[in-house]
Amino acid sequence: MIDFFHATVYTPLYNMLIGILDIGSWVDVGMAVILLTAIVKTALFPLSRKASRTQRMMKDLEEPMKEIREKYKDDRETQGRKMLELYKDKGVNPFSSIIVIFIQIPVIFSLYFIFLRGGLPVINMELMYSFVPTPETVNMMFVGLIDMASRNWPLALVAGVTQFYQSKLAMPELGPRKTDATFQEDFARSMQMQMKFMLPLIVAGVAYWASAAVALYWITSNIFAIGQELYVKREHEQEQKSTSDTTT
């Protein structure tokens, strides 16, 4: 399994990074990190967009889903059938976002480990394809100021802040806690709180502990994710407005 992961994801991305560095002497590791992350995120955008759209559509179905659960709380079989009918009627596949996330995970981990353990400025020739040119020197100084191999707390801080904003956009707003909330609702609320506030702290900590290259990767990835969420949100609002105008 590890060999398959290396052969199909890690090694191709590593070669792309080195190929980008060979474009010219003006391309430093920081620029290469941004370009590679941007290329991958752009390629994954159709999948990411689908996952974001599904999450927003599921949010719109919360109220009718709650009504079904309450109406058929003593009949799980009918409850499940009514749920599926609701998904089908609204054109929602609740499992599509999970599938999309699992498809992206190998790529995300590959990028992370490339920037964490890529070993630059030394190039691992064992991973290189024969047709990919390698640069004579690798410039580790991003815009001549930041050493990508060292730790950098300003970049780590920006990574945490952008992660917080991205999480805030991706997750629905938390309403007041219900006094009669079920265990599932309390658990979901707790997980959402942790994802919103703890994940940015974890990202900032890992970004600082690892290297400036990892921090720059998180920043670039988060900026793309923020742009994606804003795009999908606007698209979803326009669709809702169009549907509302049609029905009135």
Provide the residue-wise pLDDT of the chain in tens; the chain has 248 residues: 677 878 888 899 999 999 999 998 889 999 999 999 999 889 888 888 877 877 777 777 777 877 887 777 777 778 778 888 877 787 777 666 666 667 767 877 787 888 877 778 888 888 899 999 989 888 999 988 999 888 999 999 999 999 998 888 877 665 555 555 555 555 555 666 766 778 889 889 988 988 898 899 899 999 998 998 888 888 877 877 776 666 66
Mapping DSSP to helix (H, G, I), strand (E, B) and coil, where does residue 190 land? helix
CA pair distance 225, 52, nearest whole angstrom: 10
Q: What is the pLDDT of residues 197-227, one digit of tens each?
A: 788 898 899 889 888 988 998 999 999 989 9
- Six token digits for residue 156: 């780590």
CA pair distance 161, 155, nearest whole angstrom: 10
CA pair distance 110, 112, nearest whole angstrom: 5
- Non-local (6+) Cβ contacts of 184 within 8 A are none
Which residues constitute the domain of residue 96?
Answer: 2-247
pLDDT confidence of residue 153: 93
CA pair distance 51, 60, nearest whole angstrom: 15
pLDDT confidence of residue 182: 56
Mapping DSSP to helix (H, G, I), strand (E, B) and coil, where does residue 146 land? strand
The total number of structural domains that make up the chain: 1
CA pair distance 36, 90, nearest whole angstrom: 37
Q: What is the pLDDT of residues 128-169, one digit of tens each?
A: 999 999 898 889 999 889 998 889 999 999 999 999 988 888
pLDDT confidence of residue 60: 74
CA pair distance 182, 187, nearest whole angstrom: 9
**Average pLDDT of the chain, as a whole number:** 81
The residue written with tokens 């670039």 in the block is 220
pLDDT confidence of residue 131: 93
Across-strand partners of 173? none
For residues 91, 103, 186, 57, the Cα torsion angle rounded to the nearest 10 degrees is -20
